[in-house]
Amino acid sequence: MSKRITCEGNEAAAWAVALARPDMVAVYPITPQSSLAEHISQFVADGIIKADLVDVEGEHSVLSVLQGACLAGARTFTASCGQGLAFMFEPYFRTPPLRLPMVMSIVTRDGISPQCIWGGQQDAMTVREVGWIHMFCENNQEILDTLVMAFKIAEHRDVLLPVNVDHDGNYLSYSVETVEIPDQDKVDAFLGVKNTNWHAALDPDRPMAVDPLTGGAGGPGPAIFVRYRKGHCKAMQNAIRVITEVHEEWGRAFGRYHAPLVEEYRLEGADYAIVTIGSMAGAGKDAVDVARQDGEKVGLIKIKTFRPFPLQAVCEALSKVRAVGVVDRSVSFGWNSGPVYQEFQTAQYWLEERIPAVSFIGGLAGSDLTLKHFQRVIETTGRAFRGEVFREPIWLNEKDA
Amino acid sequence: MRKQSRKPFDRSTIPDDLCPIATEGFLLRTGDWRAERPVVDRDKCVKCATCWMYCPTQCVVEKPKWFEANLDVCKGCGVCAQECPRHAITMIEEAEV
């Protein structure tokens, strides 16, 4: 029987890991992920998770250990963020091209410096181009459901890629909500038989060299290298279909239908829309409801899957409105805007008509994005819809609380 | 070297654009990279095996009365010449081809 418990986001994530029955978990604690590591350790100690829990000396070892485990056929999980993710970068880049179907939570945290242990999405956004799948969650139930689905997506034969499930540090990691923990038998049936190393294995019965030297001018190396790169890109595109299918299957099995790629909220008849990613969608939707009551025709576009970028779904949503305001919880230093804004501008190339767009940056370093912030976002985007031009990003926490 | 007793994994069973694995060896001729070659003075060599121990590519081979580098593999780094206690090894520039 499924049961309902009231817990913080990090514990919801740990319950999802328990449901997926991993064989090996390695985690190194780092704020705001630490309580996730604690919950998993407790579950292993209590026998709720029957996995090898590896005590490692740092995040670089975390992912290196799990790569070996994955190649030996294990289902694996880890979680990190911020500086831990930075320290993990070398094996982090190696994991997707080796096509190891790992699942990892990023409990997002802002970038250092300035020294900061609080929420922000700078860590996850900074690694967006490394070839992992990235799905951002809005609430604790979505964390739990998405993490279980992540194992199925990662291990799907047309995908075979590691998946990051990102949830906001502070705002989801420590937020307490009631979540439903589905029945273990139903999750077992949903996930099916695991086989994580049919394609690359550390197995004496199937001797092979994994990750041999590939490249160098004058030989066959570069062409082989390109073949793998193209295969990786193809798998990312396959993931768009697989993520959609798995979310539908989850809805049928458990009755909760989450938007797999992009959620359209009150876009019908909207003049313009605001765009959110992660937990801020809650306050954003409330602000849209309030504005709608006041007769303002505004909707909301929520990004769930950011990698692979759901180009078609974004274009479909954008084609329904005539101006857009994009709220980022991180910075693209090279573009003087937020990364989601930047990618929405790229997506606009495929629209028949370009629409005005405004970049908002807020919620950095643990600051909240409140109803008041989103009312400012809606008011400003409304002005853009009526013809005002905004060339600079708008920094939300600079002025209003 | 122990002979491979098992059949190599049949890689045709998986897509060839999936991930980098290899089921057969491909020997790099690292000797092609060499700018200088070690030349051993056979009269000075006392077969102490210092060069054999230090060679980063482990390419030094034992002859009846001396040691010398396998030039298919030797990259010409010169570590052996530096370490030889009898100064029996000289690095000579490879002639232009």
Cα–Cα separations (whole angstroms), residue A264 to A313, A319, B96: 10, 12, 69
According to CATH, where is 3.40.50.970 located in chain A?
A: 3-199+236-254
According to CATH, where is 3.40.50.920 located in chain A?
A: 262-398
The alpha-carbon gap from A197 to the nearest alpha carbon of chain B, in Å, equals 11
The alpha-carbon gap from A131 to the nearest alpha carbon of chain B, in Å, equals 13
Chain A residues whose beta carbon lies within 8 Å of the beta carbon of residue B6: 204-205, 207
* pLDDT tens digits, one per residue of A203-253: 888 888 899 888 887 788 899 999 999 999 999 999 999 999 999 999 999
Match domain A262-398 to its CATH number in 3.40.50.2300, 3.40.50.920, 3.40.30.10, 3.30.930.10: 3.40.50.920
Q: Are the CB atoms for A4 and A184 separated by under 8 Å? A: no
**Interface pTM (ipTM) of the complex?**
0.79
Residue A13, pLDDT > 80, answer: yes
Residue A273, pLDDT > 70, answer: yes
To the nearest 10°, the Cα dihedral for A396, A126, A134, A324? 40
Rounded-to-integer distance, Cα A263 and Cα A273, Å: 12
Q: Are the CB atoms for B56 and B79 separated by under 8 Å? A: yes
Sorted by sequence, the CB contacts under 8 Å of residue A273 that are 6+ apart come out as A267, A298, A299, A300, A301, A317, A318, A320, A321, A323, A324, A325, A381
Average pLDDT of chain A to the nearest whole number: 96
Among A202, A206, A225, most B C-beta atoms within 10 A, so best to mutate, is A206
* pLDDT tens digits, one per residue of A182-203: 999 999 999 999 989 999 998 8
Rounded-to-integer distance, Cα A230 and Cα A236, Å: 10
Full-model pTM? 0.90
* pLDDT tens digits, one per residue of A61-75: 999 999 999 999 999
Residue A47, pLDDT > 60, answer: yes
CA B62-B67-B68 angle, to 5 degrees, is 105
* pLDDT tens digits, one per residue of B1-60: 455 556 667 778 889 999 999 887 777 788 988 999 999 999 999 999 999 999 999 999
Rounded average pLDDT over A253-267: 98
pLDDT score recorded for residue B45: 96
Query: Domains, chain B, ranges and CATH?
Result: 30-93 (3.30.70.20)
pLDDT score recorded for residue A162: 98
- A231/B18 CB distance under 8 A: yes
pLDDT band at residue A294 under the 50/70/90 scheme: very high
Residue A351, pLDDT > 90, answer: yes
Residue B97, pLDDT > 60, answer: no
Architecture of domain A3-199+236-254: 3-Layer(aba) Sandwich (3.40)
